[in-house]
Structure 1
Amino acid sequence: MSLVARIATVAQRDAITATGIVLSGVWLFLVALFWLLAPGDEGAPGGIARLAVVVGTILPLALIWLAVRTARAIALLRAEAADLRQRLAQLRDMAAPPPRPAAEPGPLPEPERQPRAPAPVAARPAPRPVAESRPAAPRAEGPAPDPVDADTLIRALNFPDGPDDSLAIAALRRALQDGNHARVLRAAQDVVTLLAGQDLYMDDLPPDPAPPAVWRRFAEGARGSAVAALGGIRDGAALDIAAALLERDEIFRDTAHHFLRHFDAMLTRHLPDMDDAQIAVLAETRSARAFMLLGRIAGVFG
């Protein structure tokens, strides 16, 4: 959470606490006022009467502070949700391609001095029926973008470290121009962002490195125990959090399976063209760590 969001959250929680203190003070003042102004009873009060007085004094205080605690928790959750939305918007803004400059309008043609006579209606070709019309030939577009090289794709899969990471931002923009890459990158971004909302950051989950040969077997279609080394993230707390999300959160479950399918397809397409050094760097990216974490929970690696 950013510093500004933390300050705002602390200030809001302090205001809630102050409200609880004020309400508690008002209640105790009313109890004391009632105690002083109530008419005295003859004889000592019984045990039930004393119990009723104690419960009537303490129970409202307990309810006040229960409400204070709930309000503080809600304020914290709202601040984390707002910060998460802001981070997601920043990542999407950094990944968006730069706007193209608008073409300058050319000079308008000078009006003719002699107005031309409109063409006769008979000279215009009659429209063909829909059934007889042929599809128009596709208009020639610009040259297709060059294929994304492996180093650019790997850098994009790791995502920028911040607004100053110009190389990663340029790689992400370049990779998003390819439809297949755009799908896997957006799916990875959604998963990484949702996990970060649970304080589960990929930078804190270094995996046990798997040999490049195991990655190649996976790209060739091997599953189960043959590629078990790919489940190299063994952080128990991270596995428990991700497993709980997959079990309880339907949105996260759909997002995670969508990401696993697209990352699997990306490996099948590009891993045969990568050398061992590139595969080792790919395995350290944030997207690959999320794939190893979720794939281990989903049983992809046995």
Structure 2
Amino acid sequence: MSSLDPLRRLAVEQSRDRLLTIGAAVSLAWLALVGLFAFFGPEGEGQGAAGWIVWLVGVLLPLALIWLAVWSARSLLSLRQEAEDLRAMLTRMQEHDPASQPEAVIEPRATPHPAAAAVPRSPLPPAPRPTADTRQATLELDSPPATELTATELFYALNFPDGPEDREAIRCLRLALADPGMARLIRAAQDVVTLLAGQGVYMDELAVPQTDPALWRRFAEGARGESVAALAVIRDETALASAGAMLRGDEVFRDVAHHFLRHFDRLLSRKAQDNGDPQLLAALAETRSGRAYVLLAQVTGMLGRADAQTDDGDETLR
């Protein structure tokens, strides 16, 4: 299953809850009408048992239809969400299958995951970057004047667009690239995600369980090591080993990773001061950029679990 957007999941749950509220409100309105009719309507003397049965059916049948409609609408929302997840999973399976790729995309080495190459940009000068997915080259990201991003826009920008049809994420990405500081972070994040994807480490496949937002607030304020070790939630040993090996043996990746970690650190610190909401910090860690940050922070020992130390050590990240 592809990376689940927490904001979209929240929207689906809110829609389901809203349907329950609507169903309850309509039911109460119907019962109020029935009560008014029974109070002010003609007396039912001499109706008999058959009359009462008809009256009860007339009262209960609309209620049953109301809740049948509510149940159907909630089920439809769930089915749509499952269909989107299945479609994303099938798309990713086809993209991993070399036989399903166009000949122009097939290369002797691993091709970066499409989600890792969503932002077309010029590579960094120290060394050539892995080839980006050519299907994303048509995204027009001419940046508008810089504006302050909302929490939702920041989330979408750091999560990268899923494709040319992901218009909302593309819009948020344009806004982020209009800010020089955010543009450096976005490009550094994509460099890291793309290089990791070249070694088979895909952010969509990293499980990042929910963590205590208060810990992210403490981390953003400068806490490091064992005091925030509960944030080291990645348990994918293959991903940890691959990232550690790249940090030790690939000088280019090490420089890019340190550059990315510094910029993401500054973002967390700034948002902790400006916004003050630890929920935002925890949500940013669930983006593709955030997952890359957690992976590297865990590997380098910033979270108290140094699975692989680099030659430069953690001091270069501060």
> TM-score when scaled to structure 2?
0.54
Identity %: 48
- Residue 209 of structure 1: CA displacement? 2.0
Distance 1:277 1:264 in 2: 16
Please tell me the root mean square deviation across aligned C-alpha atoms, in Å: 2.8
State the aligned residue count: 192
- Runs of 5+ consecutive residues of structure 2 not aligned to the other structure: 1-94, 115-129, 305-318
| Aligned counterparts, 1:253-292, within 5 A | 253-272=254-273, 273=275, 275-292=277-294
**Residue number among 288, 293, 296 corresponding to 1:294 in the alignment:** 296
Question: For residue 235 of structure 1, what is the aligned residue in structure 2?
Answer: 236
Task: Give the direction of change, closer, same or farther, for the CA distance of 1:220–1:277 in structure 2 (3 Å limit).
Answer: closer
Question: For residue 217 of structure 1, what is the aligned residue in structure 2?
Answer: 218
Distance 1:95 1:248 in 2: 36
Q: Which amino acid aligns with 2:238?
A: A
- Contact 1:175–1:182 at 8 Å: present in 2 too? yes
Other structure's SS at 2:228 match: helix
In the alignment, is residue 86 of structure 1 matched against residue 132 of structure 2? yes
Q: Which amino acid aligns with 1:86?
A: A
Task: Give the direction of change, closer, same or farther, for the CA distance of 1:145–1:238 in structure 2 (3 Å limit).
Answer: closer
Q: Which amino acid aligns with 1:242?
A: A
Question: For residue 61 of structure 1, what is the aligned residue in structure 2?
Answer: none
- Residue 246 of structure 1: CA displacement? 0.8
- Residue 282 of structure 1: CA displacement? 1.5
Distance 2:210 2:276 in 1: 17
- Residue 244 of structure 1: CA displacement? 0.8
- Residue 177 of structure 1: CA displacement? 0.5
Deviations 1:162-207 (A, max 9, x none): 1111111110011110111111111001100111111211110011
- Contact 2:221–2:272 at 8 Å: present in 1 too? no
Q: Which amino acid aligns with 1:154?
A: F
Task: Give the direction of change, closer, same or farther, for the CA distance of 1:301–1:95 in structure 2 (3 Å limit).
Answer: farther
Task: Give the direction of change, closer, same or farther, for the CA distance of 1:5–1:246 in structure 2 (3 Å limit).
Answer: farther
Deviations 1:120-150 (A, max 9, x none): xxxxxxxxxxxxxxxxxxxxxxxx7432222
Other structure's SS at 1:167 match: helix
Task: Give the direction of change, closer, same or farther, for the CA distance of 1:8–1:283 in structure 2 (3 Å limit).
Answer: same
- Contact 2:111–2:197 at 8 Å: present in 1 too? no
Other structure's SS at 1:85 match: coil
**Residue number among 86, 97, 108 corresponding to 1:76 in the alignment:** 108
Q: Which amino acid aligns with 2:162?
A: D
> TM-score when scaled to structure 1?
0.57
Task: Give the direction of change, closer, same or farther, for the CA distance of 1:229–1:4 in structure 2 (3 Å limit).
Answer: same
Other structure's SS at 1:94 match: coil
Question: For residue 105 of structure 1, what is the aligned residue in structure 2?
Answer: none
Distance 1:252 1:90 in 2: 25
Distance 2:101 2:146 in 1: 44
Other structure's SS at 1:97 match: coil
Q: Which amino acid aligns with 1:279?
A: L
Distance 1:223 1:266 in 2: 16
- Contact 1:206–1:284 at 8 Å: present in 2 too? no
Q: Which amino acid aligns with 1:76?
A: P
Distance 2:231 2:167 in 1: 30
Question: For residue 32 of structure 1, what is the aligned residue in structure 2?
Answer: none
Distance 1:149 1:278 in 2: 10
Q: Which amino acid aligns with 2:108?
A: L
Q: Which amino acid aligns with 1:96?
A: L
Distance 1:184 1:289 in 2: 14
Deviations 1:76-105 (A, max 9, x none): 22x748x95132x6557537216x9xxxxx
Q: State the structure with more CA Rg.
A: 1
| Aligned counterparts, 1:42-61, within 5 A | none
- Contact 2:257–2:296 at 8 Å: present in 1 too? yes
